[in-house]
Amino acid sequence: MTYAETLEYLYEHLPMYQRVGPIAYKKDLTNTRALCEYLGNPHRKFRSIHIAGTNGKGSVSHTIASILQEAGFKVGLYTSPHLKDFRERIRINGKMISEDSVINFTERIRPEIERIQPSFFEITVAMAFRYFAENQVDFAVIETGLGGRLDSTNIITPLLSIITNIGFDHQNLLGDTLPEIAREKAGIIKNNVPVVIGESNEQTISVFTQKANEENAPIYLADYAYSADYSFVSEDYSQQLFNIYRGGTMRYAGLVCDLLGLYQKKNIITVLQAVEILRVGFDISDTALYAGVANVKRNTGLEGRWQILGKNPLIVADTGHNEHGLHEVIKQIQTVPHKKLHFVFGMVNDKNADHILRLLPRNAKYYFTKANMPRALGENLLTAKAEDHKLEGDPYPSVKEAIEAAKRNAKPDDFIFIGGSTFIVAEAI
């Protein structure tokens, strides 16, 4: 098979959550264990760091990988979903898995695929683990896909577990309350493995402490130890700067970050707490830390986090897509000087549209659209729902058409924001 034929086989023959939604979610680890057993249990052949959470896990994963790379380690990175190329999901020191590796893996494991009928995500996890083992990485930073307890990645026993935060998302699969969602995420906490909690919440902290106690796992609350009380974005919008305090004392002055978005100040303290723990056994200098934080995008290829796509007018895309994430994004939109806001917006059909739409600013011109995928919410239905929330805008059948319309209407001192769904951003960039 060619690379294109291999992707077509994976996309068309395996249920993929990003395309078809909850029917692709497998509520046990049987298939992943079977696949990895077939491959010789590659997940036992490298050190790993496991990251779950409602939001921020992508930024945290990439930043930790970048720091470890700068410290001289060979670092595997597994994340999802991808924005433009399937191979973004599996990287070593920022370089995507080769097309040949994807082809060869799929051809080798195809008989097992036909036998056990795994999901798309289960296959990609097995592919990543095999690739990292074959290439003898020093570390693999592994991001969960959905949840934690039953996530396909949860067959690993990591050096460190991280839970960034808990918010409402995927309630149909994870639970209707924050404690219920937290219990699913807490499933990545392992016996005697330290765990970092990025954002403390009075509704969820007892869930994490109870699980940590049961597993005899040391627990660290990043926002109790660290704080970032100051940040600014450079004049060219290419970076922001943080002053970081540890227990009230300056620890990292002038920490430059190439990931934009004010929400990164929450992610960075999670990263710093994780690095503090890793330093007990590994040489990670302050020089490597500063360089890693400053060069996340260059080192790992991360995109879609408050990404600047144009100026005059300013055009920004961000993958925040649930209530918790969009709340942070909208707070930042309100800090950007502009005359008029043009909002290119789309959703998937299994989100609670009313809960999302009520968060959006009313003083904006909306361009409602849909990504080119089966799970997308139709632009006409989205427009009708938005009218109930006093949001004014028009439907567009494609992301490209919506963005082109926004550009036609926007003046140089206006602001165009593109978001609502990871897949809207993927098409935009």
Residue extents of the structural domains in the chain? 3-300, 307-428
Please name the amino acid found at residue 88: E
CATH architecture entry for 3-300: 3-Layer(aba) Sandwich (3.40)
pLDDT (average), residues 334-353: 90
- Residues in contact with 424: Cβ distance below 8 Å, sequence separation at least 6, in sequence order: 344, 345, 346, 369, 371, 399, 418
Instruction: Report, as an integer, the average pLDDT of 64-81.
Output: 97
Checking DSSP bridges between strand 139-143 and strand 75-78, what pairing results, if any? parallel
Question: Which residues, 6 or more positions from 279, have their beta carbon under 8 angstroms from its beta carbon?
Answer: none
Compute the radius of gyration of the chain from its Cα atoms. Answer: 21
* Res. 296: pLDDT tops 90: yes
User: How far is Cα 248 from Cα 225, in angstroms, rounded to an integer?
Assistant: 9
CATH code linked to domain 307-428: 3.90.190.20
349-386 pLDDT, tens digit each: 877 888 899 999 999 999 999 999 888 999 999 999 99
Q: What mean pLDDT, rounded, does the chain reach?
A: 91
As a whole number, mean pLDDT of residues 44-66 equals 95
Looking at the predicted structure, is the pLDDT value of residue 305 above 50? yes
Are 184 and 53 contacting, i.e. CB atoms less than 8 angstroms apart? no
Mean pLDDT of 311-326: 87
Got the DSSP string for 207-225?
HHHHHHHHTT--EEEHHHH
Amino acid sitting at position 216: N
pTM for this entry: 0.91
* Number of Cβ within a 10 Å radius of residue 17: 22
- Is the Cβ–Cβ distance between 221 and 200 less than 8 Å? yes
Average pLDDT value for residue range 78-88:
93
Q: How confident is the model at residue 173 (pLDDT cuts 50, 70, 90)?
A: low
Using 50, 70 and 90 to split pLDDT, how confident is the model at 18? very low
Over residues 238-262, mean pLDDT: 91
29-33, 111-115, 147-151, 392-396, range with the lowest pLDDT: 147-151
Q: Which residues contact 394 (CB under 8 A, 6 or more apart)?
A: 366, 367, 368, 383, 405
Among 3-7, 105-109, 173-177, which is the least confidently predicted range?
A: 173-177
What local confidence, expressed as pLDDT, does residue 166 receive? 85
Task: State both tokens at 325.
Answer: 């994430």
Give the model's confidence band at 248: pLDDT under 50 very low, under 70 low, under 90 confident, else very high. Answer: confident
Q: Give mean pLDDT, residues 373-400.
A: 94
Residue 121 has pLDDT above 60, yes or no: yes
Q: Please report where in the chains the tokens 């040489």 appear, as a residue.
A: 283
- The CA-based angle 274-280-284, given to 5 degrees, is 70
Say which residues have a Cβ less than 8 Å from residue 236's Cβ, sequence separation at least 6: none
Query: Residue 313's pLDDT is what?
Result: 95
- Residue 229, pLDDT > 90, answer no
**Tens-digit pLDDT profile for residues 21-30:** 444 445 679 9
Least Cα distance to 250 among 286, 226, 234, 219 occurs for: 226
* Confidence band, pLDDT 50/70/90 cuts, at residue 174: low
Q: Coil, strand or helix: which one is 62? A: helix
Percent of the chain with pLDDT over 70: 94
Provide mean pLDDT across the span 173-197: 87
Asked if residue 62 has pLDDT above 90, the reply is: yes
* pLDDT reading at 14 higher than 50: yes
Instruction: Tell whether the model's pLDDT for residue 118 goes beyond 50.
Output: yes
57-70 helix and 264-278 helix, angle to the nearest 10 degrees: 50
Lowest mean pLDDT among 113-117, 176-180, 229-233, 326-330: 229-233
Beta strands in 288-414 (DSSP E): 307-310, 314-317, 341-345, 364-368, 393-395
